[in-house]
Structures are given as structure tokens and as C-alpha cells.
């Protein structure tokens, strides 16, 4: 896309809409998991749907993207399993045991890990403000987690931290992947390998068809609303997975990677608002201040890398 076709306004709308859908998805996924679908099973359904939809689009738009070399396959398999598969599974575990916003807040510390990895492993230049960002994030997380009270679930917190590591790997590997292939092709292959992994280990075959047709409460403020389980499940695998992926990639055609990354962090805010209004998950005033500190650190860290990627460089979309 040439510069004359770029529209910062459209790019901003795409990025924020994708972040909003991802933010809503955490609360919807929590309903599905609470109804009996395991984190691994839900992850399998999400990666499968993303791979199928992306594959269908490629059939009609770029069939040559189905041909890859053995070396590319190894890289995309690593991205799919260590990145896509692990992020979504670990995030699903985290939100089943932690407030959605808190889990997402911890996961987004991946931005700090990415900047550190770029500096330590790839010898990229980073600005001194990275250290300020790290301080903001550490202090902010300590406040949100109320470390003096140890009130957060240990397993949930560990899962969210592990998801941050997986997300950082996904970001770095995917960043290099889209430098060689279109973003949609990288999405297809990474999701395909993630699906193959979870096809073996998710226990998807244990999902009883009757479970998906059973009626469940949407809980929280929507406790009186009952729908078949397949309704929120369908949301998770379409509007909670593929649609925000596409919107995030579309944003990258109009905005720089840094700008999209900063806008994407608004997902945390959306997740907090939705979880508060719907599930009644609240934070005290001090925790809200801590969350704001973490978000500030994330935004600062997004601008700390000095890699010469160019204004049009693409990075993979977020995947919670």
C-alpha cells in the first residue's frame, strides 16, 4: 500500500476495534471455561477456526502461500506452538483463576521482555527510557497484585507471567516472519501448527456435543440471561479470535508498528471495563493507580526500541 492510500484515522479505528474485541473476549471466554470447556480445548477451537478462515481466504487470494520450505516450516512451527498455542492456553488458565484485567495486565509485560530481548540477544539499540518503563511496570504490578497481601492466585499469576514470556517470543518470531511472508499467511501457518499441537494434547474429543447445546448463564450482571453454550463459544472463535487478528493486521497497513502496539495496549483498559460492568470484577483505587502505572510503562517501552523497521513494518497481532 502506498503512502497516498494510508489513512491514520482508519488505522486507529481498526486497531482500537481489534483491541476492544480482544478485551471483550476475556470475559466471554471465562463464561465458556466456567461451563466446562477446558483451557486447552478452547485454545484448540480458537486456533482451528483462525487457521480455517485464514486458509479459505488464501485459497482465493494467494494460493502460492501454501508452499513453504522445510526451514520455513520449522520457524513457523516454533511460532505456532511456543507462541500462538502457549499464549492462548496460558491466558485461558490465567483468566480462569484471576480477574480478566489483571491477567491481561501481567501478560502485556511481554512488551518489556521484547525490548530486553532485542537489546540483549539481537544487539538492537534501545533508548534509556526502557529502564523507566521497567520500573513503572514492576512497581505498578506490585501494587495491582497487592504483594503485601498475596491475594492473587499463585497458579493464575504464574500462568499470566508464562503467557507474557510466550507472547514476547511470539512477537519477536512473528516480527521476522511477516518480513518474509504476508501477515495472513503467517497467521495461517502459525495457527495450523498450533492446531496440530493441541489436536494431540487438548482432549478436544472429550467435548460432549450435548455440552455445547446446553444452556448456560452469562453470569455477573447478565446472570438472568441464558443461552446455548455454542453462542459464547462461537463468539470466542470468530469475534474473539479471527476478526481482531484481521483488524490488527489491517491497522498495520495504515499505521507504524509502534503506533499499533500502543493502541493495542488499550485492550487492557477495555478488559477491565467489560469485566467490571459484566462480571463485577473490581479493583480498589490503589490498584487502579497501579494499573495506570503499568500501562504507562507499556506505552513507554513500545517506543524504546530503535530498530530500523520502517514506518510500514508489520508485527503480529496480539492473541489473547
Compute CA distances 302 → 126, 149, 295, 307, 315, whole Å: 10, 31, 11, 11, 12
pLDDT reading at 51 higher than 90: yes
68, 73, 77, 83 alpha-carbon torsion, rounded to 10°: -70
Q: What is the pLDDT at residue 81?
A: 94
CA separation for the pair 305, 36 (Å, rounded): 42
215-217/226-228 β-pairing:
antiparallel
110-148 tens-digit pLDDT: 878 877 887 888 777 778 887 888 888 888 877 876 666
Please check whether residue 19 is in contact with residue 253, taking contact to mean a CB–CB distance below 8 angstroms.
no
| Mean pLDDT of all residues in 213-225 | 91
Q: What is the pTM of this model?
A: 0.79
261 falls in which pLDDT band (50, 70, 90)? low
4 falls in which pLDDT band (50, 70, 90)? very low
pLDDT reading at 221 higher than 80: yes
259 falls in which pLDDT band (50, 70, 90)? low
CA separation for the pair 212, 216 (Å, rounded): 9
Pick the closest to residue 254 from 317, 313, 192, 316 (CA basis): 313
Lowest mean pLDDT across 12-26, 41-55, 61-75, 141-155? 141-155
CA separation for the pair 244, 231 (Å, rounded): 18
The highest-confidence range among 61-65, 176-180, 249-253, by mean pLDDT, is: 61-65
Exposed e or buried b per residue across 83-122, where buried means at least 16 C-beta atoms within 10 angstroms of its C-beta: bbbbbbbbbbbbbbbbbbbbbbbbbbbbbbbbbbbbbeee
Q: What angle do CA 317, 94, 20 make, to 5 degrees?
A: 40
Domain spans in the chain, listed from the N-terminal domain onward = 3-302
Compute CA distances 279 → 13, 14, 27, 101, 148, whole Å: 26, 26, 7, 11, 25
310 falls in which pLDDT band (50, 70, 90)? very low
Amino acid at each position: 500500500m502506498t503512502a497516498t492510500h494510508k489513512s491514520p484515522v482508519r488505522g486507529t479505528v481498526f486497531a482500537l476495534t481489534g483491541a476492544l474485541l480482544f478485551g471483550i473476549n476475556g470475559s466471554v471466554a471465562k463464561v465458556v471455561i466456567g461451563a466446562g470447556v477446558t483451557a486447552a480445548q478452547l485454545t484448540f477451537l480458537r486456533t482451528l477456526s483462525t487457521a480455517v478462515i485464514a486458509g479459505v481466504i488464501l485459497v482465493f487470494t494467494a494460493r502460492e502461500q501454501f508452499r513453504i520450505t522445510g526451514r520455513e516450516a520449522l520457524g513457523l512451527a516454533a511460532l505456532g506452538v511456543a507462541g500462538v498455542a502457549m499464549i492462548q492456553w496460558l491466558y485461558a488458565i490465567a483468566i480462569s483463576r484471576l480477574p480478566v484485567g489483571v491477567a491481561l495486565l501481567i501478560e502485556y509485560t511481554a512488551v518489556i521482555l521484547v525490548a530486553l530481548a532485542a537489546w540483549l540477544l539481537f544487539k538492537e539499540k534501545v533508548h534509556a527510557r526502557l529502564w523507566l518503563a521497567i520500573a513503572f511496570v514492576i512497581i505498578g504490578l506490585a501494587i495491582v497484585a497487592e504483594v503485601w497481601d498475596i491475594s492473587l492466585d499463585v497458579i493464575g499469576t504464574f500462568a499470566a507471567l508464562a503467557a507474557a514470556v510466550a507472547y514476547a517470543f511470539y512477537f519477536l518470531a512473528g516480527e521476522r516472519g511477516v518480513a518474509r511472508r504476508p501477515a495472513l499467511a503467517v497467521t495461517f501457518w502459525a495457527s495450523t501448527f498450533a492446531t496440530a499441537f493441541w489436536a494431540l494434547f487438548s482432549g478436544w474429543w472429550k467435548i460432549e456435543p450435548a455440552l455445547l447445546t446446553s444452556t448456560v448463564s452469562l453470569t455477573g450482571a447478565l446472570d438472568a440471561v441464558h443461552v446455548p453454550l455454542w453462542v459464547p463459544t462461537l463468539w470466542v472463535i470468530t469475534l474473539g479470535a479471527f476478526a481482531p487478528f484481521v483488524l490488527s493486521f489491517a491497522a498495520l497497513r495504515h499505521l507504524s508498528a509502534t503506533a499499533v502496539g500502543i493502541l493495542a495496549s488499550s485492550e487492557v483498559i477495555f478488559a477491565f471495563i467489560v469485566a467490571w460492568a459484566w462480571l463485577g470484577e473490581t479493583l480498589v483505587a490503589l490498584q487502579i493507580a497501579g494499573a495506570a502505572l503499568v500501562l504507562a510503562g507499556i506505552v513507554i517501552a513500545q517506543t524504546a526500541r530503535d530498530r530500523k523497521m520502517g514506518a510500514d513494518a508489520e508485527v503480529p497481532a496480539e492473541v489473547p
